Structure 1
Amino acid sequence: MANEYRSREERKRLEKPSKISNKSEGLWKKITVTLLSIVIVFILIGVGIFSYLVSGAPALDESKLKVPLSSTIVDKDGKVVAELGREQRTKVSYNEIPKVVEDAFIATEDVRFYKHKGVDIRRVFGAVLANITGGFGSQGGSTITQQVVKNSFLSSQKTIKRKVQEMYLAFKLEQRYSKHQILEMYLNKVYFSNGLKGRGVYGVAKACETYFSKDLSKITLPEAATLAGMVKAPNSYNPAKHPTQSQNRRNTVLSQMKKYGYITEEQYTTAKAIPMKSLVKVHESGGTKYNSFIDVVVNEVEKNSDANVYTDGLTIETTLDPKAQDKADEILSRGKSFYPSDEFQTGFVLLDTKSGEIRAVGAGRNTSTGGLNFATDIKRQPGSSIKPILDYGPAIQYLKWSTFHQILDEPYTYSNGTPIRNWDRKYKGNISIRLALVDSRNIPALKTFQAVGSDRSREFGNGLGFNFSKNTYYESYSIGGFTGVSAMEMAGAYAAFGNSGIYNKPHSVKKIIYPDKTEKVFATEPKQVMSDYTAYMVTDMLRDVVKTPLGTGKRANVPGLDMAGKTGTTNYSDEVKQKYGFPDNATRDSWFIGYSSDVTMAVWTGYEKNKKNNFLGKGSTNIAKYIARDMLAANGDRNAIFRKPSSVEEIRNELYIRGEKVDDIPKDIVIESAKNVKANYDPVTSNISLNWTYPANLLQKTSFEVSYTVNGAAGQTQKIQGTATSINGIVPGDIVKIAIVAMSAEGKSGPVTVTVDLSSPEQPTTPPVNEGGQGNGNGQGNGNGQGTGNEQGNGNGTGEGTKPGDQTPGTGGANGDNIVNPIVPNPKNPH
């Protein structure tokens, strides 16, 4: 038979199903079931996670879709000083939005806006890839609908939960509103930088009015592209403040519009060729009180977070000192009695020396916040004000120089053979770095820079907040021959000298609090960028800049304030002077940076643009000093002093690093002492007023160091130019001992001491007594006391020296102690 098998075994094998086949089918079934189970589990987990993430999502509150949330700004003490976001808005309907505006924003922000359902899946996958390569938060992939949701209901923090809630609410928003309604919401809510009076500009209609002074219906293609470009970084692309950056961003938008067919090649070329400065015509009215400071706050929040000050309903805790800012605003508002012209500009910053917190900002004269900020945005050559940072600070830090280290001031050149000159075209021979800095000598500064080396000089400067590049760091930097620095940067750098070498980056924001009560702290990290001996020794030299007659900053001195500081000026090139008819001695920039251990003040003055008569003359170069003086006088703590660290030792009025080899000790030369010292106590003001006399022909080159103790405790040492000062905070019962030492470039005198004894309620009326000390002559004194020195006394007593006929000068001992018996008011009949 045809169907017969060849054998019984063959029949069994062919008629029975294969065990291997059955086993294979069973294995695949198991795999399929397992995979399906895993998929189901992941789906359930995903659904669970999604449900959890969206469970706290806010409801679609229609009122929040229409009105941006305002932010509250509080000062350093928690007092509300401004509320931003309630104004600067003009609402328009979709039918009032020009097509060119719609096209520009869609091409830039969401090209598939009319195709997706709230979330653009293609953009999401692109964002995921960017976040994998650049870290989470590097790209958001948000559609216009998502941006409406985020700005209306959510914080700007980049978290997975917020992103999921944003997508979820975007889908819901698209179900409730039409595309035209959503686009209308977006274009009425979108933020366009802080305006020119401190208030946020939001909505395309208000932005068009603010930056182009026209109604939205008349907007042009390049103007629409400019506004669309601002959305990415509103303050950075502000056309009034940063025209170059704004123009580059506008051209990117135009390129996108051409790419997606919204404009032709010809339209693109024509619009791109229009300069940004020709488009901008700012118009704005009203504003907040502290708009100069708020400008800095808004920029800082924008730079360090994803929050929007004018739409996110934040509470912003700032470092603002209203008293200091009021003084800054008063200085800026001064007229022609103080400033030489309306175009004369200044930018300045007041910092807390210890923390780097910004207390006040002078953004410029006759300007509005949102435009160019002359305290932070303008970069100008610092001139000699850079010398402590790039020359003498590094020399003390790395080379261990003393303040008396000698440098030969002589004809000299840069390494390439270019001559370098001092400001007075003169040379002083061997001088100390103290005198070189006080008199702002250029040649010693360059020699110091060369001794330190450019690498260590640059390292020291970068530690103080600058960003000097190794490839473009030249010897001319030693005297400020580079562009440029801002007043904010200079304030931060100098504050480190007054803070024992600790640098804090200047900052205006402590923290921001979101509507959901989450917080973001704006912490700064203090950095020890130099030794405490470097900070103090530089500070002590800079004291002489403001406290001695030779110092270039003496006009900035605040009597009674232990302060230090440095001037800086720059000149125009010969070509500029010839082009605009400037005189040979015309100055371009004038700086003064002054500080105490309490506050630091950096001031720049000059003109924004070169034109006829826009230069600083001899008198106007001093305005920077007067501004600093007035701000420091109003805000500096008279009881704050620079304390000498244990790492510093003083030898004959010069400072040395303790433990380092001393081989440059100054000669002990005795100069004329103060005479006829008078001290008067006023119980009404709790002040002791001091005055004395000094030879008129010596007074111009002499300063006086006034130190004192109150009941044995040391008070603040003052360096005085002139023959009068006061000591504050003295009360009945105190015993105050005062010492006055005359100082000049040649040497110093012995101390003249005075005691004001208020320990007894009733004082005798005997006159002051001079307890004579060592003199320096052989003639008679002219006071009321007895001298017991080695030579004839030259104090306020009759000298009875042991060698009345000897012509040998004395060795500089004390000239006498004047015991002052003040008149204390009768408690029964007070003054």
Structure 2
Amino acid sequence: MTEKYQSREERRKSQGNNNKKKQPKKQKRSLFKRILIIMFSLGILFMVAGAITFFVLASGAPPLDEALLKDPLSSKVYDINGKKIYEFGAEKRTFVPIDEIPDDLKNAVIAVEDARFYKHHGLDVIRLGGAVIANITEGYGAEGASTISQQVIKNSFFTQDKKLKRKVQELWMAFQLERKYSKEQILEMYLNKIYYGVGNTYGVAKAAELYYGKTLDELTLEESAFIAGVGNNPGLFNPYTHPERAEKRRNIVLNLMEKNNFITKEEATAAKTTAIDATLVASKEESQPIDSFLDQVKKELKEQGGIDVYTAGLKIYTSFDPDAQAHIDSLLNNEGDVQFPNDEFQAGIALIDTQTGEIRALGGGRNQSANSRINFAIDPLNQPGSTIKPIIDYGPAIENLKWSTYHQIVDEPTTYTGSDKKINNVDFKYLGQMTIRTALAKSRNTTAVKTFREVGGKKAREFAVNLGMPFSENEVNEAYAIGGTEGGISPLQMAGAYAAFGNNGNFNKPHAVKKIIYPDDTEVVMAPESVPVMKEATAFMITDMLKSVLEPGGSAAGYDVSGLPIAGKTGTTNYDSKTAQKYNIESGVPDVWFSGYTTNYTISIWTGYKDNITPIKNKERNIAKQLFRDIITYVSKDKDTKDFVKPNSVVKVGVEKGTNPAKLPSEFTPKEDIVYEYFIKGTEPTEISDKYDKLTSPTDLVATYNAEKNEIALSWNFPKDKLDGISFEVSASIDEGPGIVQGTLKDLTYTMVNPIPGAIYSFTIVAVSDDNKENRSDPISSKIEIPIIPDITNPGDDNGNGNDNGEGNGNGDGNDDGNGDDDTGIDIPDIPPLPPGDVNDQSNGRKGN
């Protein structure tokens, strides 16, 4: 439809408006072009800046020294005194030319380490891309993208940290390496640098000799695949100690070889059918005592950015105490007072500094070969038994629930929650109500599980994890309360946890390496920082409770050391019913522990057998305690060992035994019924027990004389509801003389026979507690005068020899012979004779009439 305009002016205006409407499209296109230009310019700028940064960072790279490329730098290890004790990489290296290395081995290494080795020039962009994504999503350093060329450079020239500058320099030098050397030469360097574990062995030639007793040209496909895979982590994939891991690793290498067309599927399948240990040679080399400590050194440096001590050229300063290590070694070699039952019996020992967590010595085991040895000191292999109780039960209870060391708990038949499975104590008995101090000292299982329930699994796990226990989330259950963990705990981990109790609640991760110095003199302090993980009150109260373990009645009674304040805990585990039935085990236990500490040293010891099946029996159960006592005595000699100091947040309070909740003793509470325990300040008891209040006095004492029987009958009253545990002490005096106890009886009556005629008797009755003789009531008294009745049938002579009421003598004594017992059956002490008098003196002598 054609628009009509009234005038040319309207047409111009209309066209002008249309032009204005179309103008923004041109502006948008112009803006888009400007943005593209800016982005392009920024891209170029960033590229230039990146290139400049790269070359600036790369400019500090060391020169490409051919000697370093072929001969890795050894690392020296120093003890606590600064004396060199070992050198990693100083021996067992054989350089083999590339043309003497079989293709299967070369291909296996390439497949697992750098599949695109022949396609890149030092940097694998495709592999780098995957690593970049992993580093962005999982954090810097999460995944490496190093090529074989980069690994050669890293192992020859650099530290193992993942700082940007070092990575840039490494990449720059890898480019240089690729320009200067052929792929075959670079591969040759790498294959002769790989570390293979036992006895400082590295290089593929030594690996073939170590594991198979062969030269390289004699290796089979599966053997080559294993050697290629084990170099990644020879400890983890040790075929002698971890055959399943080793076989799995070998098969992964075979899969990668197939994937990269180095071998066929049929070849891979056939190679996988060979057992990993089918052609392994037996280990001939005996392990050295220091190997256990060096294992920990390597482990810590591996965790510090993957440092390879065999090629890094480090100076490694450690906390190693050669004197303590030598003593532990002598014990493990049966050279001390501790005697082992046989050569197969094993022990793992960790000795650390309580205040710093520094490892002084490690005993990794006994009579083991270098290839097949297990480090029982640092490998978490065995359940901890009751040594876990302070860590997951009582420690969390004091920390979270503010329990005192007196807190009452009942040892009684108990089952696991939601189950009818009974929780047994070691003696299959139940001891009733007791303090948690007693429960821990006697290692009662039912009370430990009850305590765990009170705390709750979440808080118990959190407390334990803060002490270095490797418990994953949702893993902890009631079985953990008595050491039935799903995974194992190492003596070193246990020592670290116990040391925190002795260090005022501060946890230091056990460590062997104090600092390292790189070839370029860069110094790195390795000691971890101390972390407060519990209140001082908790640490002190657990420590004081653990002292009771070594006191009479405790599970380690008799293993204390005179003059040393020691806290510690025993631990044993049991076979499950299936294992016991399968191996026909009727008695014995698989693991026995002792962990203990002073303010200076902490020691944790595991004993048992390598197979964890052979039972520990009889006196063998004491070996862990014997080792502890021997070692703690040795390291503490000539060293001031202070006692553990009570913090101001804790108060010591006397409590009347058995009160629940705790009550203060009254002034009448027997001393033997008062126990002194520790409370967190503000939670101590304030109520006084009335159990031993001053006793109620007897009432209504009546004394009656029976002339016919010549006897005095006493009777009194006492509240019937208070008679339990009460006796009555009866005292008598004559003519206001001293009162003499006649006896103590349960009845409310008493009879005195043959009283003296004419005498005035005063009787006193006092209620006395059977439990506390010092708790006595106020006395009640009564007097009675005995009448004189003449005896006309038997008049006495002038000498006073009458026999009416007694044998009168010439001195006028009228008392009986003092041997008369009353009719209560109670032996009545003699009434002292009256003073002698003249026979004619009626006032003094009891004259016989």
* Unpaired runs of at least 5, structure 2: 1-22, 674-767, 776-849
The answer for unaligned runs of 5 or more in structure 1 is 1-19, 673-805, 813-831
Shift, 1:179, TM fit: 2.1
Query: Does residue 94 of structure 2 align to residue 90 of structure 1?
Result: yes
Say if 1:383 and 1:481, in contact at 8 Å, map to a contact too: yes
8 Å CA contact 1:536–1:644 kept in 2: the answer is yes
Tell me the equivalent position of 1:757: none
d(CA) in 1 for partners of 2:651 and 2:39? 79
CA distance in 2, matches of 1:807, 1:29: 107
Verify: 1:338 aligned to 2:339, yes or no: yes
Partner of 2:4: none
Shift of 1:26: 13
Q: What is aligned with 2:476?
A: 473
Matched residues in 1 for 2:55 and 2:30: separation?
37
* 1:603 and 2:605 correspond: yes
* Helix, strand or coil at the partner of 1:485: coil
In the aligned structure 2, how far is the partner of 1:428 from the partner of 1:36? 83
The 1-side partners of 2:493 and 2:453 are apart by 24
1:775-808 C-alpha deviation (Å, 9 max, x unpaired):
xxxxxxxxxxxxxxxxxxxxxxxxxxxxxxx999
- Residue identity opposite 2:516 in structure 1: I
1:466 is displaced (CA, Å) by: 1.5
Separation in 2, partners of 1:534, 1:35: 62
In the alignment, residue 641 of structure 2 is paired with which amino acid? Answer: N
Q: Per the alignment, do residues 556 and 99 of structure 1 end up closer, same or farther by CA in structure 2, a change over 3 Å counting?
A: farther
Counterpart of 2:113 (choices 100, 109, 113) is 109
Provide the residue aligned with 2:399 in structure 1.
397
- Deviation per CA, 1:195-250, whole angstroms, max 9, x where unpaired? 1xxx4321111122223333322222222222222343443333334333333222
Alignment counterpart, residue 153 of structure 2, candidates 144, 149, 153: 149
Within-5 A mapping of 1:208-219: 208-219=208-219
- The superposition leaves residues 577-631 of structure 1 with CA deviations (integer Å, 9 ceiling, x where unpaired) of 344343x3311110000111111100000012156xx221110010011111111
Deviation of 1:339 after TM superposition, in Å, equals: 0.8
Q: CA deviation at 1:668?
A: 5.9
Distance 1:305 1:555, change over 3 A: farther
From 557, 562, 565, give the equivalent of 1:562.
565
> What amino acid does structure 2 have at the position aligned with 1:417?
D
Q: SS of the residue aligned with 1:320? A: coil
Change over 3 Å in CA distance of 1:518–1:418 after alignment to 2? same
- Conservation of the 8 A alpha-carbon contact between 1:545 and 1:552: yes
Question: Separation in 1 of the partners of 2:286 and 2:482?
Answer: 43
Residue identity opposite 1:209 in structure 2: E
User: What SS does structure 1 have at the residue aligned with 2:643?
Assistant: coil
Partner residue in 2 for 1:313: 313
Q: Quickly say closer, same or farther: Cα 1:413–1:112, change in 2 above 3 A.
A: closer
Q: In the alignment, does 2:185 pair up with 1:181? A: yes
SS in 2 for 1:200: coil
Farther off after superposition, 112-121 or 319-328:
112-121
Aligned to 1:437, what secondary structure does the other structure show? helix
The corresponding residue for 2:752 is: none
The equivalent residue for 2:382 is 380
Superposition TM-score, scaled by structure 1 size = 0.72
Residue of structure 1 in register with 2:137 after alignment = 133
Distance, in Å, in 1 between the alignment partners of 2:452 and 2:29 is: 85
Alignment of 1:194-593 (within 5 A): 195=198, 199-278=199-278, 280-281=280-281, 283=283, 285=285, 290-334=290-334, 338-368=339-369, 371-415=373-417, 416-483=419-486, 484-546=488-550, 548-582=551-585, 584-593=586-595
Read off the aligned partner of 2:420 and give its amino acid letter. G
**Displacement, 1:159?**
2.4
For residue 297 of structure 1, report the CA deviation from its aligned partner: 0.7
- Distance in 2, matches of 1:252 and 1:469, equals 28
SS in 2 for 1:533: helix
Select which of 52, 56, 69 maps to 1:52: 56
Seen in structure 2, the aligned counterparts of structure 1 residues 173 and 544 have a Cα distance that, compared at 3 Å, is same
Q: Classify 1:47/1:559 alpha carbon distance in 2 versus 1 (closer, same or farther; 3 Å).
A: same
User: Does the 8 Å CA contact 2:225/2:253 hold for their aligned counterparts?
Assistant: yes
1:511 is paired with a residue whose SS is strand
Residues 384 and 480 in structure 1, CA contact (< 8 A), matched pair in contact too = yes
Aligned counterpart, 1:747: none
Contact 1:670-1:811 at 8 Å conserved across structures: no
Go from structure 1 to structure 2 and tell me whether the alpha carbon gap of 1:116 and 1:399 turns closer, same or farther (over 3 Å shift): closer
1:643 to 634, 645, 653: 645
Change (3 A) 1:668 1:307: farther
- Is the contact between residue 346 and residue 608 of structure 2 (CA under 8 Å) also seen in structure 1? yes
Measured after TM superposition, the shift of residue 669 of structure 1 is 4.9
- Provide the identity percentage: 47
Q: CA deviation at 1:119?
A: 2.8
Aligned-pair CA distance for 1:650: 1.8
Residues 1:396 and 1:134: Cα distance change in structure 2 (over 3 Å) = closer
Is 1:560–1:638's contact at 8 Å kept on the other side of the alignment? no
Q: Which moved more, 1:489-498 or 1:287-296?
A: 287-296
Q: CA distance change for structure 1 residues 350 and 811 in 2, over 3 Å: closer, same or farther?
A: farther
Q: In structure 2, do the counterparts of structure 1 residues 172 and 279 end up closer, same or farther at CA, with 3 Å as the change threshold?
A: same
Change (3 A) 1:144 1:606: same
> Is the contact between residue 75 and residue 318 of structure 1 (CA under 8 Å) also seen in structure 2?
yes
Q: TM-score, normalised by structure 2?
A: 0.70
* Counterpart amino acid of residue 591 in structure 1: W
Q: Give the aligned residue type for 1:108.
A: V
How far apart, CA to CA, are the structure 2 residues paired with 1:362 and 1:654? 46
Following superposition, the deviation at residue 62 of structure 1 comes to 1.6
Instruction: Give CA-to-partner distance per residue, 1:473-522, whole Å, 9 cap, x none.
Output: 32222211223322112111111111111122211122222111223332
Q: 1:101 to 1:668 in 2, by over 3 A?
A: farther
Q: Which of structures 1 and 2 has the bigger CA Rg?
A: 2
**Structure 2 counterpart of 1:365, which letter?**
R
Q: For the Cα contact (< 8 Å) 2:514–2:526, is it kept in 1?
A: yes
Q: Work out the CA distance in 2 between the residues paired with 1:33 and 1:621.
A: 81
1:35, distance to aligned residue in structure 2 (A)? 8.6
Larger mean Cα displacement after TM superposition, 274-283 or 634-643: 274-283
Comparing 495-504 with 270-279, which one deviates more in the overlay?
Answer: 270-279
- In the alignment, the residues of structure 2 paired with residue 480 and residue 32 of structure 1 have an alpha-carbon distance, to the nearest angstrom, of 67
Superposition pairs for residues 607-756 of structure 1, below 5 Å?
607-609=609-611, 614-636=614-636, 637-652=639-654, 662-663=662-663, 669-670=670-671
Q: 2:164 aligns with which of 160, 174, 180?
A: 160
- Indicate if the aligned counterparts of 2:82 and 2:317 stay in contact, CA closer than 8 A: yes
Residues 1:652 and 1:146: Cα distance change in structure 2 (over 3 Å): same
CA–CA distance in structure 2, aligned partners of residues 143 and 542 of structure 1: 54
Report if the CA contact (8 A) 2:286-2:368 is conserved: no
Which of 175, 181, 187 is matched with 1:171 structurally? 175
Amino acid corresponding to residue 172 of structure 2 in structure 1: Y
Answer whether contact 1:210 1:282 (CA < 8 A) is retained. Answer: no
